[in-house]
A = this chain, B = another copy of it.
Amino acid sequence: MLIKRSLKSEYFADLKCLCVSLTIKSECMSENRICKLFGIKYPVVQGGMVWCSGWRLASAVSNCGGLGLIGAGSMHPDVFEEHIRKAKLATNNPFGVNIPLFYPEIERLIDIIIKENIKIVFTSAGSPKKLTSLLHDQGILVAHVVSSAAFAAKSEEAGVDAIVAEGFEAGGHNGREETTTLTLIPSVCMATALPLIAAGGIATGNAMLATMILGADGVQIGSRFAISNESSAHENFKNYVVNSKEGDTLLSIKSLMPVRLLRNEFFDLIRNAENNCASKDELQNLLGKGRAKKGMFEGELDEGELEIGQVASLIDKVLPVSEIMEDILKEYHTALKILQNKSLYQFDNE
């Protein structure tokens, strides 16, 4: 009774496979809605992440049959353009970009996206209402990232082509409702019939299958790819994540803008200030500017802001993207096979 659209095979009949409009080398063999929509082999999207997801990471993921995204959030427009050009040279498969809607020069990003003939845009942190029709007019697919069912419904009204529903366990900026992926995905399934990508807390093939059972068509994976060889994050940051343990990330700076951070000196500084009822201005001053760059890109582990998901504690090695993708898909298919063991998983005496 609860999940009105739990595993939505009934929607496939209606699906217009938009990937035919893309000028891509499609390996879209599956009936899976995310594979069909983006013309990719596996429903695995690499999250756009500040200071991690440049052309090298995005093209590596796309070359492995997933969907790589160049994260514009930490790039000046000219750098963004350069990354798009390099990604085009590095892969013939579909890739996309992620743009946070609060980006100050967003018009310049849009111009570049159109000029460079990018056909997949993920938007986040804002309302996709205005931008979606503009991008659609250019034949661009739009997926929007939300942290609540209410915003999923609004995004559908705005006309987006797919939803990314990102739970509390995700790294970086996050919703105020603190809804975890396990609760969020069924809620979003009730709010919208759009193709749905689960995000937050997914670093393994088992978690991928688990969220698809909850109703997602595919997954967005951030942290695991942030700690790959191809991620542009600093080696210090990658090693610090590898050595982190459970409980080492917490949702922080809630009075300004909730963001999941890894514990370090900066984290404690903010936390102590919050515990002492610092004002928003005081927090903003402590935060300053360029903290994420300092921590994640320049590797200053004490002073920098270290954004990563709760799954950081599960990541125990820096690996090439090809190995990560292989691991995830192997785990996924193994889990799928094990479920066929009737004596363990079937209780209905059939």
- Residues of A at the B interface (CB closer than 8 Å) are 1-3, 6-7, 9, 12, 29-32, 35, 41-43, 148-150, 167-169, 176-183, 186-187, 200-204, 206-207, 209-215, 246-247, 250-251, 275-277, 310-311, 313-317, 327, 329, 331-336, 338-341, 343-350
Q: Is the CB of A148 within 8 A of B206?
A: no
| Contact A1 to B181, CB < 8 A, known contacts A30-B343, A247-B148, A338-B7 | no
| Contact A246 to B179, CB < 8 A, known contacts A327-B2, A333-B348 | yes
Chain B residues with CB under 8 A of A32? 343-345, 347
Partner of A315, one of B2, B333, B336: B2
Chain B residues with CB under 8 A of A250? 178
| Contact A329 to B347, CB < 8 A, known contacts A3-B206, A180-B167 | yes
Chain B residues with CB under 8 A of A334? 6-7
Minimum CB–CB distance from A346 to chain B (whole Å) comes to: 7
Chain B residues with CB under 8 A of A212? 345
**Distance between Cα atoms of A267 and B89 in the complex (Å):** 55
Chain B residues with CB under 8 A of A1? 316-317, 327
Q: Is the CB of B186 within 8 A of A6?
A: no
Partner of A187, one of B186, B214, B314, B332: B314
Q: Is the CB of B182 within 8 A of A247?
A: no
18 pairs, A vs B, C-beta closer than 8 Å: A1-B327, A7-B338, A9-B341, A31-B343, A42-B347, A167-B182, A177-B246, A179-B246, A183-B311, A183-B314, A187-B246, A206-B213, A207-B214, A209-B213, A210-B210, A212-B345, A329-B348, A333-B346
Chain B residues with CB under 8 A of A348? 329, 333
Chain B residues with CB under 8 A of A327? 1-2
Number of copies of this protein chain within its complex: 2
| Contact A179 to B314, CB < 8 A, known contacts A41-B347, A209-B213, A343-B31 | no
Further pairs besides A43-B347, A167-B180, A213-B339: 20, Cβ < 8 Å: A2-B314, A2-B315, A3-B331, A12-B344, A31-B344, A32-B345, A150-B246, A177-B246, A182-B207, A182-B210, A183-B201, A183-B311, A186-B207, A187-B246, A206-B214, A210-B213, A210-B214, A329-B347, A332-B347, A336-B345
Q: Is the CB of B183 within 8 A of A310?
A: yes
Chain B residues with CB under 8 A of A201? 180, 182-183
| Contact A186 to B150, CB < 8 A, known contacts A2-B327, A336-B339 | no
Chain B residues with CB under 8 A of A215? 206
| Contact A187 to B313, CB < 8 A, known contacts A210-B210, A246-B177, A344-B9 | yes
Chain B residues with CB under 8 A of A187? 246, 313-314
Minimum CB–CB distance from A32 to chain B (whole Å) comes to: 6
Partner of A335, one of B30, B213, B343: B213
Q: Is the CB of B168 within 8 A of A247?
A: no
Minimum CB–CB distance from A149 to chain B (whole Å) comes to: 6
Partner of A6, one of B35, B41, B331: B331
Minimum CB–CB distance from A17 to chain B (whole Å) comes to: 13
Q: Is the CB of A2 within 8 A of B177?
A: no
CB closest residue in chain B, given A248: B177
CB closest residue in chain B, given A178: B250
Chain B residues with CB under 8 A of A336? 339, 345-346
CB closest residue in chain B, given A323: B1
